[in-house]
Amino acid sequence: MEIKRFTFSQRVQHGVLVLTFLLLVVTGLPMKYGETWGKSWLEFMGFMTARSIHKWAAIGMIGVGFYHVLFYIIIDRGKKAVYPKLQDIKDFITEVKFRLGMAKEEPGFERFNFLQKFDYWGAFWGFVIMIGSGIVLWNREQFAFLPLWITESMRTMHREEAMLAVVFVLVFHMIHAHLRREVFPIDTVIITGNISKERMKKEHPLEKRA
């Protein structure tokens, strides 16, 4: 028996996010390292083509980001289960104790555990930095009044946050979301929207469902 965990809208949002993220990575990193390994990739794709794809992917990511905020605040009127709570800190401590053999049982989680919340809000904070700095770099003429040190700081923020996002997704997100032995090689819940009743009881026993 399976239980509906994610709606069609949520799955589409995630799909668009994945697609735009990949496009931004494969076009943005070569531009960041255009003087070294990225040079051959830019010559193959064409600098203007890579730049155009990067901008359109950015528009797509900004669009799905704003839609997600509106969706979460206005459309999804249910309990905001992804908000951090004091219980998350307690669950983290209990989880560490369990892994060290200092606790007999793992903590029971509601709709989202502390790792999933950390993943979500880490990406959310990255959105703010990338969108803010990207808009300034994209429209330099409109922001010409800004001192040079600010625009260059924005450039550094954009590049370094991009690298952090890549490492975060490839290491943290992939390991705890897809490479766990319970779901390896990929967690299909975000694709189908369904989760087995057995897995639901094990991973989210405290979730209250209507």
Q: Which parts of the chain have pLDDT scores under 50?
A: 210
Supply the pLDDT for residue 74: 74
- Report angle CA 118, 124, 126 to the nearest 5 degrees: 100
Whether the CB-CB separation of 39 and 15 falls below 8 Å is answered with no
Supply the pLDDT for residue 77: 54
Supply the pLDDT for residue 193: 93
| pLDDT tens per residue, range 141-193 | 888 899 999 999 999 999 999 999 999 998 889 998 899 888 898 999 999 99
Supply the pLDDT for residue 164: 92
Rg (CA), the chain: 20
Does domain 2-203 fall under CATH 3.30.590.10? My reply is: no
The neighbour count for residue 207, using CB atoms within 10 Å, is: 17
Domain positions in the chain: 2-203
Cα–Cα distances in angstroms (integers) from residue 46 to residues 27, 38, 51, 61, 179, in the given order? 10, 11, 9, 22, 35
Residue (of 186, 200, 194, 195) closest to 18 by Cα position: 186
